[in-house]
Chain A
Amino acid sequence: MSRFYARYSSWAGLRTSMGKRMSFFITHGLRRALRSKWAILVLVITYGLIVMPRVFAAMNPFFAFDPLSYFSLYDEMQLFIMLYAAVIGAGIIASDFNDKSIVLYFTKGFSKAGYAFGKLSVLFLSFSLVTILPLIVIFAVALISSDLGLDLIRDNIWVLAAGLSLGLLVTLLLTTLTAGLSSLLGDVRYAGASIFAIFFLSRLVSEILLSINGNEHMKLISLWDNLSAVGTYLFRLDNPYGFPQLYPFLVIVGIIALSSLAVYYILFKKELSL
């Protein structure tokens, strides 16, 4: 019995370049990540509860360019940033391992390096929405609300640079850490839980050890304290920690390097024999 379905036809057109495919890969990934109801919820709460009050505060010249105000923004947002990282980042690579679709990318002409670049870009851009964009919005509102004089911009542009540097560091850390955990664990739920747990547990352990032996260096165990310590340096604030701010910076760089190594190992060294 012959089939009655449509026939299979050929197509002889020109294929799109790898650059265009990559850009589609990234925008498609970004759209999917941001369409998640949990991601939308965390974004709405973060912007509603923390960013918007800061935007209104930035209209007040007294707070407009206050470094402490910009620095404390990250501290206030840390819970939401972690939640957002767990919600958005966990599935970025793990879901491709979960449903085993990762093999298909490599049979569609994508190299492993291209795949890793695309996924890391999706993570970086998604995280930027809570780590870099709020700062730019607040600074822009502060500028618009002021007299927009060149002197004012020249005197305060370092606050923006400091904020962007800290935002960039937080984004890089979250991007590599979530990608690393996502590829190592290969399971969306475990990856999400572990991202959240790493931030909380590291802080808990550091607090417990600090209370036991009183050694300030124990704070180097806490990921968020490390970021805060680097932040105090960037925003030219007094160092409340009992160690040079270079140490936490090195810890963060080390975690970024280790996480990148995990992604490299899983994607490049481990055979994808699914």
Chain B
Amino acid sequence: MSLSEGENIAFLTSSLSKSYGLIRAVSGVTVSVRKGAIGLLGPNGAGKSTLIKTLLGLIAPTEGSYKVQGRDEGYLDSVGYMPEHDCLPGGLTAVGFVSYMGRLSGLPPDVSMERTHEILDFVGLDEARYRKIKSFSTGMRQKVKLAQAMVHDPEILFFDEPTNGLDPEGRKEMLDLIRDVADSGKTIVLSTHLLPDVEYVCKDVMIMNNGELILYDSLENVLGTQNLIVRVKGDPGPFSGALRRMGYSAEVSGGKVLVGGNASSKEVFMAARESDAQVRYISYHSHTLEELFLQLVGDK
């Protein structure tokens, strides 16, 4: 998907690369990412965090350029970041820390305190907000990290593995919070290696592997592509060959042929006639994100 720079673009990169010696953490990423809820997927070490840190200006790219909110600098007031690692000073209370971050982000004192309480209500930290952070559980710390990222009302929020270390209940709660933020019209970039998290929250998906961007599309497009599973009598080789000649992908697996490219049953029967095959079974099959991910990452 290629998009030109415009108001609907959250960030764009052009041949963005970051190397550490011989290792290319991010390799020639060129993309224009639309506003909305974007899932940044990839296995550990795929370059997701490096890409985010580069966009935040924490890491200087080795090559290429980028723009966030249409600007290559001075955009940080409109960006929020929830790091993957712990980043909270244990000696401060949640209220003290979040309002401090609000002031540093340019909120006037009264607004900062008002919004701090509002955001802490939003993330569900009640009386605990007056306790020192060092006494917090992992889930509570994640909520404080989320609150500090949101307190100054940024337009884009980068969440780096926000559900790390959370139990299933805490994970669901965190994803609900992030989805609520996205529903409020903010752009969110959710970096994770957990596919269900992306399916639950996001509308678009970016998949990275070995530093390269291998897919950027809407989840609707990605998951909406229907395949056909066909079983034929005898050797499926000639039948799959006929399908390929017709311009469809055909993958033979376990005696079945997976037909891609939105082929209809009519074309399947045409291919069967051409290859003298007898169709015994035919059914529709939609991709799951997991299948697509394994297919793309496995290929690479």
Contact = CB atoms under 8 A, between A and B. Distances in A.
Interface stretch (B36-44, B86-94, B191-199, B270-278): B86-94
B184 A7 contact: yes
Contact of A5 (B90, B100, B122): B122
B173 A6 contact: no
Interface stretch (A59-67, A106-114, A129-137, A205-213): A106-114
Contact of B88 (A6, A8, A101, A273): A101
Interface stretch (B56-64, B204-212, B232-240, B287-295): B56-64
B171 interface: no
A149 interface: no
A107 B81 contact: yes
B166 interface: no
A99 interface: yes
Interface residues of B, number: 45
A272 B259 CA distance: 48
Contacts of A10: 153, 184
A175 to B, nearest CB: 22
B72 interface: no
A109 B105 contact: yes
B77 interface: yes
B53 A104 contact: no
A99 B86 contact: yes
A31 to B, nearest CB: 11
Interface stretch (B4-12, B174-182, B213-221, B260-268): B174-182
Contact of A104 (B81, B103, B153, B177): B81
B35 to A, nearest CB: 15
B24 to A, nearest CB: 15
Nearest to A100: B87
Contacts of B181: 8
Given A15-B77, A104-B148, A21 B87 contact: no
A264 to B, nearest CB: 16
Interface in A11-33: 11-13, 15-16, 21, 24-25, 28
A contact residues, range: 20 to 34
B121 interface: yes
A191 B79 CA distance: 33
A41 interface: no
B85 interface: yes
A110 B104 contact: yes
A230 to B, nearest CB: 37
Nearest to A273: B59
Contact of A101 (B53, B89, B118): B89
Interface string A72-108: 0000000000000000000000010001110111111
Given A10-B153, A24-B103, A99 B87 contact: yes
A5 B121 contact: yes
A271 interface: yes
Interface of B: 53, 56-60, 76-77, 79-81, 83, 85-90, 100-101, 103-108, 111, 115, 118-119, 121-124, 148, 150, 152-153, 173, 176-177, 180-181, 184, 186
23 contacts: A7-B122, A7-B180, A8-B119, A8-B150, A8-B184, A8-B186, A11-B111, A16-B108, A25-B104, A28-B103, A100-B87, A101-B88, A103-B87, A104-B81, A104-B83, A108-B104, A109-B76, A109-B104, A271-B60, A272-B58, A273-B58, A273-B59, A274-B87
